[in-house]
Structure 1
Amino acid sequence: MSFLTLSGINKSFGANTVVRDFDLAVEPGEFVSFLGPSGCGKTTVLRMIAGFETPSGGTIRVGGADVTALPASRRKIGMVFQAYALFPNMSVRDNVAFGLRIAGMTRAQIDARVAEMLDLIALGHLADRYPYQLSGGQQQRVALARALAPRPNLLLLDEPLSALDAQIRTSLRDDIRRIQRELGITTVFVTHDQEEALSISDRVVVMYKGRADQIGTPAQIYNHPTTRFVAGFVGKLNTFDARVAGADSLAFGGQEFSGLRRAGLNAGVPLTVALRPEALSLHRRPGDELSLPGRVQHSSFLGSVIRAQVEVAGQSVSIDMFNRADAKLPVAGAPTEVWFTRDDVLVLPEVSP
């Protein structure tokens, strides 16, 4: 049975509808990320789960109980914000203890739980410091410990890493995932960062114009996008105008390829196909079946990756290849072949619903 269920959620502010027909079922202990651009409605959905906003329609259930109209203070939910929201006049220890004092726990219970939480975030040695004496990453760890201290049923994180630099973000997201797994707490994480969502989640909800455009595992979202928006938003794509050329073939890039026909496509109907840069190579690999002729425009050495731009049928195509010790940069102006497999070809619907 799902632990968190959102059914038919809608939210409007006046005449502006920001969340539409949103459905989601989150399993106990699952880590689900809402991914999307600014204004897509992801934070609004999170705030409705927390009880800070009331849905205009639909129901929210936590642990089987309808909490749609329940005040935030009675939902037993832990929340971590982008801006830390620590009390500046309280020490690390007192910040973590705040919710426990509100709950009426004894001093001994509070001390034991605070020590447990500080050990979990590895900041016990900083218990007597104040927020201004901590780095951004340390402050966010304290905010996480404070949210978890009262043993909430559900943990919500609203872009908690966006104010941090890249190295700290990577370290802290790994800590968040480790702690979430250790505690087994059901978690919803909001981010606009694709790498964060793909690396940290059991499932990803890609949001677009207030809707869940696609819900799936990180691999499903990346490798098998079901809408044009998801395909273009998650990762990089090379796209080609294409047409159905025969009973089992598609034509694009000036070539016709058999074995690519998808069910439900009628002859002559325009469509778009896409290829990920990392699916392509300038050298035929085992399994490569198809190729497009082209000419190298330029190439770049990026350490672990060599990135080439190749003109194919009048358009520029990006190709990412792993670097090797004996690798040579493709020479600008040289003719070449761009190799890939049939499974690498994504056929995209013309519009997102």
Structure 2
Amino acid sequence: MSFLALAAISKSFGPNQVVKDFNLSVGKGEFVSFLGPSGCGKTTVLRMVAGFETPSAGTIRIDGQDVTRLPANKRRIGMVFQAYALFPNMSVSQNVAFGLKVAGADRATISRRVGEMLELIKLDHLGERFPYQLSGGQQQRVALARALAPKPNLLLLDEPLSALDAQIRVSLRDDIRAIQRELGITTIFVTHDQEEALSISDRVVVMHQGRADQLGTPAEIYNRPATRFVANFVGKLNTFEARIADADEGQLNFAGKDFTAPTPLRGLRSGDPITVALRPEALALHRRHDDEASLQGKVLDFNFLGSVIRAKVEVDGRPICLDMFNQSGFTMPPVGTATELYFSRSDLLVLPE
């Protein structure tokens, strides 16, 4: 049974419909990310769950209760914002205690819970400091502790890491996931960063123009994109314009060669144009044991990225990328060298129109 259920949610601001027929079921203790570009509706959905916006249509249920019209302060939700939103005139401990005081908790309960939260976020030695005396990462930890202190049923995080530098962002996202697992709290995380969403989520909702284009595990989203938008938005992609050579036999043609599609070409006819794609890491300069297909190309360039080497190869008159692990002893072919790019047929993506 789902803990959070959104059924046919829509939201309009005047004539502008920003969320369209959005459906989602989240299990208790699950970590789900909303991923998409700015303006796709992900924050609006989050605000409707929080009670800050009222849906134009549809229903929201939390733990079986219809909360569609319930005020935000009655929903037992913890919220963490991008801009921290800490009270500057309160110490760290006072900020964490705020929600408990509003709820009418007694002094002993507040003191105990604040201590637990500060220990959880590893800032128990900074309880008397004020927000301006903390780093951005520390301030966001305090905001997280404040949201969790009243023991909410649901934790909502609206781009909580986007204001932080890259190294702190990686560290804090891992901490958020570890805390979420430890507490077992159902969590919705909004981000435009695909690496964040894929690295810490149980499932990811990829949103586009107010709709959920695809819902799945990180591996499903990346390896088997359901729409052209998802394929292009999540990860890097090499695309090829192709045509169906034989629809019944699953044969398609691109880059001057015939290939067998990895899945049946339902709804397509011989001669139809189509787009196919390959992830950079699906390609290799040397044949691997499961590679049964290849493309001819010419080496254009190499970029050394530390653990990964990214090669640019011209195939059928256009540049494509392939990624390979940096291994000792690997010798890069000289620029201009003719080469073969190998791949497995199962890695070939046939993108829906």
**TM-based fold match above 0.5:** yes
Answering whether residue 299 of structure 2 is matched by residue 296 of structure 1, we say yes
Q: CA deviation at 1:258?
A: 3.0
For residues 90 and 56 of structure 1, do their structure 2 counterparts lie closer, same or farther at Cα, with a shift above 3 Å needed? same
Contact 2:261-2:348 at 8 Å conserved across structures: no
C-alpha offsets along residues 231-259 of structure 1, whole Å, 9 cap, x if unaligned? 00000000001111122311111111135
Deviates more, 1:162-171 or 1:300-309: 300-309
- Distance in 1 between residues matched to 2:306 and 2:93, nearest whole Å: 43
Structure 2 residues not aligned, in runs of 5+: none
Residue-by-residue CA offset, 1:285-307 (whole Å, 9 max, x unaligned): 11111001111111122111111
The amino acid that maps onto 1:212 is: A
Deviation by residue 1:97-141 (Cα, 9 ceiling, x = unmatched): 001011111101100000000000000000000000000000000
Contact 1:250 1:260 in 2 (8 A): no
- What does residue 305 of structure 1 align with? 308
Q: How many residues align?
A: 350
Question: Residues 104-143 of structure 1: matches in 2 within 5 Å?
Answer: 104-143=104-143
Question: Is residue 225 of structure 2 the alignment partner of residue 225 of structure 1?
Answer: yes
Amino acid at match of 2:259: F
CA 1:22–1:259 in 2, change beyond 3 Å: closer, same or farther?
Answer: closer
SS class of match (2:285): coil
Q: Which residue identity lines up with residue 329 of structure 2 in the other structure? A: D
Equivalent residue runs for 1:1-353 within 5 Å: 1-246=1-246, 247-258=249-260, 260=262, 262-264=264-266, 265-350=268-353
| 1:146-187 alpha-carbon deviations (Å, 9 max, x no partner) | 000000000000000000000000000000000000000000
Is the 1:301–1:329 contact (alpha carbons within 8 Å) kept by the matching residues of 2? no
- In the TM superposition, what is the alpha-carbon distance from 1:270 to its structure 2 partner? 0.8
CA positional deviation for 1:14: 0.2
C-alpha distance in 1, partners of 2:85/2:180?
20
Q: Note the aligned Cα RMSD (angstroms).
A: 0.8
> Partner of 1:288: helix, strand, or coil?
coil
- 2-structure distance, mates of 1:61, 1:223: 31
Question: 2: CA distance between counterparts of 1:253 and 1:260?
Answer: 17
- TM superposition shift of 1:269: 1.2
Alpha-carbon distance in structure 2 between the residues aligned to 1:164 and 1:50: 24
3-state DSSP of counterpart to 1:79: strand
In the alignment, structure 1 segments of 5+ residues that lack a partner are: none
Distance across 2 between alignment mates of 1:286 and 1:268:
32
Aligned mates of 1:70, 1:301 — CA distance in 2:
54
CA contact (8 A) 1:298 1:330 kept: no
Residue pair 2:261, 2:350 contacting (<8 A) in 1 also:
no
Report the secondary structure of 1:328's partner residue. coil
**Secondary structure at the residue paired with 2:125?**
helix
Letter matched to residue 59 of structure 2:
T
The structure 1 segments of at least 4 consecutive aligned residues displaced by more than 4 Å after TM superposition are none
Shift in Å at residue 263 of structure 1? 3.3
Give the residue type in structure 2 aligned to 1:90: M
TM-score normalised to structure 1 length: 0.98
SS at match of 2:173: helix
Over residues 11-61 of structure 1, what are the superposed CA-to-partner deviations in whole Å (9 max), with x where a residue is unaligned? 000000000000000000000000000000000000000000000000000
How far does residue 330 in structure 1 lie from its aligned partner after superposition?
2.5
Identical amino acids, percent of aligned pairs = 71
Cα distance in 1 for residues equivalent to 2:250 and 2:282: 22
Structure 1 residues 65-87: Cα deviation after superposition (integer angstroms, max 9, x where no partner): 00000000111100000000000
Alpha carbons 1:300, 1:329 under 8 Å: kept:
no
Q: Which amino acid aligns with 2:264?
A: R
Amino acid at match of 1:211: R
Distance 1:119 1:153 in 2: 21
